[in-house]
Amino acid sequence: NAGVTQTPKFRVLKTGQSMTLLCAQDMNHEYMYWYRQDPGMGLRLIHYSVGEGTTAKGEVPDGYNVSRLKKQNFLLGLESAAPSQTSVYFCASSSLAGTPYEQFFGPGTRLTVL
């Protein structure tokens, strides 16, 4: 099992450009999450999904959109990137089975917006 994978690993954007980050999990987990991590701020929840076709806002959703068209994939979109969105983005998934609430994290995407 690959677990949780994220694409791309690094990206540099110019202000105003758009991009999509892809998260994929092969553990058949129901729940998926997108976080951003800034220095000294820990992780902050952007959006999350409790199942295919459903999404919900987290703590810092502004400037981001998400979609969960397939159970194994969770996409994070930036329509018009801003320097304030420079961060490391982590995707995570969890399941109701096994150990509920335990989140499995991907390796992260480092995004720089110039």
**Interacting span for another protein (CB under 8 A) from 13-21, 30-38, 63-71, 77-85:** 30-38
The nearer residue to another protein, 56 or 82, going by C-beta atoms, is 56
Rounded Cα distance, 109 and 22, in Å: 10
The nearer residue to another protein, 48 or 64, going by C-beta atoms, is 48
Residue 10, token pair as written in the block: 């690094």
Rounded Cα distance, 51 and 55, in Å: 8
Q: Which of 58, 53, 54 is nearest to 91 (CA)?
A: 58
**Interacting span for another protein (CB under 8 A) from 12-20, 51-59, 63-71, 76-84:** 51-59
Residue from 78, 106, 111, 113 that binds another protein (CB under 8 A)? 106
